[in-house]
Structure 1
Amino acid sequence: MTDSGLVTTSSSAGLILSAGTRDRLRRAMPESTRRAYTGDLHRFLTWCAGQALLPTIPPRTDEHLTAGLRQLRTADADVHLVVTEYVNALADAGRAPASIERALAAIAAAHRTATGERLRTDGPRQVLRAYRRDRATTGPGVRVRKAAPVTITALRAMTDALDRSTATGVRDTALLVLGFALGARRSELAALDITDLSFTSEGLQVEIRTAKTDHSSLGRTAALPYGTNPATCPVRTAQAWLSVLAEHNRSTGPLFVRIDRHGRLGRVPTGRGSTDGRLTGQAVALIVARTARTAALDPAAAWSGHSLRRGFATETYRTGADPLRIARAGGWKDGSATLLGYIETVDRWQANPLTGVGL
């Protein structure tokens, strides 16, 4: 073994990647995406076993799933045709197109890792395209439910519904307000540390160290000015939550942490989750949905962690903010199709070409 950790072999492979290299390759993908891909790949190989293409279902570990793909490839099976048939089976089962798209991405990524070759996806994508067209003609009942945007009115209703005499109420207020003001993804909120916040005479600066689309982890700095309403002011709500953390001797570590029913912060010794007690992205989404219900917001709307980010985009654009500034403040790519789609929901009425035409 060399100093670098590489292991030489006498096989044609030449060498085996070190444990440290494999670990960095694994962590290059966001943990939430990796978990989702692992589940997608396991479901695919389970289906393959049900079709007698594999002798058994591989255990749900990266190593066994990768080995299962290699086994499938050496079993005289045309993987491209197998995946095409699998996509069709998912369509027959009524899976959402976005879920099928992710499953296809997971299989393709794993196939590349297992074999060093790209998986042909033209057949699966044609099946998926036909499935999308079929769904589009069956009526609105099957259309994708998009996250409801949290408007300023909705945000005030949500913060008013929280009991800010409790640590949980103070935390959830800060989480909702900062999530909206940053236009943050739920993963970005969960990843914030106390030291990512700094205060100036103008307001609050927040360092977003990395993001879903920030593949180089360049990060961005968000500037949040004082608000006019204390209950929804990013600066004041953040300060209130930091004061609670300070009372519990927390000056470093995760910004948003778990709170149990006894008011204890962080993970208790017998609890689950990360040892530092950091909230997960899923927990952020649950807080948004729970608070929307408490505030008696539209129960038919899809309230989720993404509601804060979408609300930031639509509300700032509604007041006349430049789309480029919105994109850069919220961490969208310049010209983001997703952001333009949010803006379109405002322009549908605000800049309607029929307005004033004389109908």
Structure 2
Amino acid sequence: MSTDTTPPTPGTPAVGGTLNVVVPAARQGLSPAAREAVARGIPKETERGYDGDWRRFEAWAVAVGRCPLPCTGETLTEYVTWLTLTPRPRTGHPYKPASIDRAMASIVVAHQAAEIPPPHQTGARLVLKGYERRLKETKDPRGRVAQAAAATPRILRQMIAATDLSTPIGLRDAAALTNGFALAARRSEAALLDWEDLAEVEEGLAYNVYRPKVNNDQPLGVPYGTYPSTCPVRAMKAWAKCLIDHGRQLTGPILLRIDRHGRIAHRMTRHGKEIGDPQGRMTGEAIGDIVTRAARRAELNKNPDDLLPDLPARWTGHSVRRGYAEASRQAKKDPIESARHGGWVDGSKAFAGYHDRADMWDEELNPLFGIGL
């Protein structure tokens, strides 16, 4: 294997200063405005992940005397091998396969943004495949895909039952949990919801949901629920009444931050400077924390449908989305329409995986039922 020791070529960032890649002078065809426009095409959460991944790769390449951009297939293979062998300072273990896969994606994106052909991935993919196989064969937990526990309607009822609905925080959390499930909303999607995005109709609530990951606006109908405690319409109306009672108008963000004193959309400062969204809009991370706290209140420390129940459950913002997917399958809803309702693309492997989990105990689909065991 040859050594790629070409030193980095000085240049400017390829994507609006976000990915700190070095572009050869002869290829610097994009203006700063164009590079910034390219950066805006990457979802914020993905951009943050790619940014960190790229910086780590760039630092490694410079340290070992390799050129980060353009990167050769050999350099990529060496880097992936290094990631599979080198313990991370924070965990003491090498990166998980999913993290390595994202690191590879960040390198490809950096090249595409700089209008440079990305490196060949054959060798790197073989290294990653062998790493995944080794982790699975040795029963290393890093070989398992870390999935959020499913907040199905039964679980939601437990969460709501442990929530104090006499407080603004409790009413907001109930609205976030039930409507997050009904919309199969990602955290980023729930954070973007404004009161102008929904209307009360006879059947329930009519939403217009913007889904950044697939970049489309989606009209969705949320009907009244069968169980009052987990009815998304009733929960949202109760949250709206709470805001009106506190002298707020139903405009701008739906999900607002509330401090421990019950102050809604309070002004936050640090060292005398205002921080946070000026309207009080919650971040996606804060909305995910609503699910985590609700699970803790309900003492849902174990995942009842996990194949390894001794492992603690991961209750995250994604739990309501996964719960919707599994519940739709258990109710035998049309998989194509169910996926589209939740903003999954047709043929989504992630959505199909959730359905596979829901099918394990279906007597009509599991061939072991009724065969005489």
User: What TM-score results when the alignment is normalised by the length of structure 2?
Assistant: 0.81
- Partner deviation per Cα, 1:125-184 (whole Å, 9 max, x = no partner): 111111111112111633222111012221011111111111111111100000111111
Paired position in structure 1 for 2:252 = 253
Deviation of the 1:335 alpha carbon = 2.6
Q: What's the offset of the Cα at 1:235?
A: 0.6
Aligned counterpart in structure 2 of residue 294 of structure 1, from 269, 294, 297? 297
Does residue 125 (structure 1) correspond to residue 122 (structure 2)? The answer is: no
- The question of whether the paired residues in 1 share the 8 Å contact of 2:76 and 2:119 is answered with no
C-alpha distance in 1, partners of 2:318/2:28? 46
Give unmatched runs, 5+ long, in structure 2: 1-24, 87-93, 303-311
**For residue 66 of structure 1, what is the aligned residue in structure 2?**
none
Structure 1, residues 75-131: CA drift from partner, whole Å, max 9, x if none? xxx632222111111111321111000011001111222352222222211111111
- After the TM superposition, which residues 54-133 of structure 1 pair with which residues of structure 2 at under 5 Å, given as runs? 69-70=68-69, 73=70, 79-93=72-86, 94-114=94-114, 116-133=116-133
Aligned length: 325
Tell whether the 8 Å contact from 2:291 to 2:315 is kept in structure 1 after alignment. Answer: yes
Change (3 A) 1:14 1:268: closer
| Partner secondary structure for residue 209 of structure 1 | strand
Q: Which string of whole-angstrom CA distances, capped at 9 and with x for unpartnered residues, describes residues 324-346 of structure 1?
A: 22112111122322212111112
The equivalent of 2:264 in structure 1 is 265
Alpha-carbon distance in 2 for matches of 1:27, 1:41: 17
Query: Aligned with 1:110: secondary structure?
Result: helix
Alignment correspondent of 2:348: 336
- Assess if the C-alpha contact under 8 Å between 2:211 and 2:343 holds in 1: no
- CA distance in 2 between partners of 1:136 and 1:244 (Å): 50
Q: TM-score, normalised by structure 1?
A: 0.84
Please tell me whether the aligned partners of residues 267 and 274 of structure 1 are also in contact (alpha carbons under 8 angstroms): no
Aligned-pair CA distance for 1:15: 6.3
* The one of 317, 329, 333 aligned to 1:317: 329
1:257–1:95 distance in 2 versus 1, CA, 3 Å: same
Post-superposition Cα deviations, 1:169-221, rounded to whole Å, max 9, x if no partner, equal 11111000001111111111111111111111011111112331x2xx33211
Partner of 1:64 in structure 2?
Answer: none
Q: Which of the two has greater helix per residue?
A: 1
1:304 and 2:312 matched: no
Shift of 1:239: 1.0
CA contact (8 A) 1:288 1:303 kept: yes
Q: Equivalent residue of 1:219, what SS?
A: strand
- CA–CA distance in 1 between the matches of 2:203 and 2:351? 27
Counterpart selection for 1:285 from 284, 288, 297: 288
Question: Who is 1:353 aligned against?
Answer: 367
CA contact (8 A) 2:187 2:317 kept: yes
How far apart in 2 are the matches of 1:195 and 1:16? 37
Aligned-partner Cα distance in 2 for 1:47–1:14: 24
Question: CA distance change for structure 1 residues 15 and 183 in 2, over 3 Å: closer, same or farther?
Answer: closer
Residue identity opposite 1:166 in structure 2: T
Equivalent in the alignment of 1:192: 193
Q: Deviations over 1:280-338 (max 9, x none)?
A: 22112221111101111134111111110111111122122121221121111223222
Question: For the residues of structure 1 that align with 2:172 and 2:335, how far apart are their CA atoms?
Answer: 30
Residue type at the aligned position of 1:255:
I
Which amino acid is the alignment partner of residue 195 of structure 1? E
Residues 267 and 273 of structure 1 are in contact (CA less than 8 Å); yes or no, is this contact kept in structure 2? no
- SS of residue paired to 1:265: coil
Match for 1:89: what amino acid?
W
Identity of aligned residues (%): 42
Change over 3 Å in CA distance of 1:52–1:267 after alignment to 2: farther
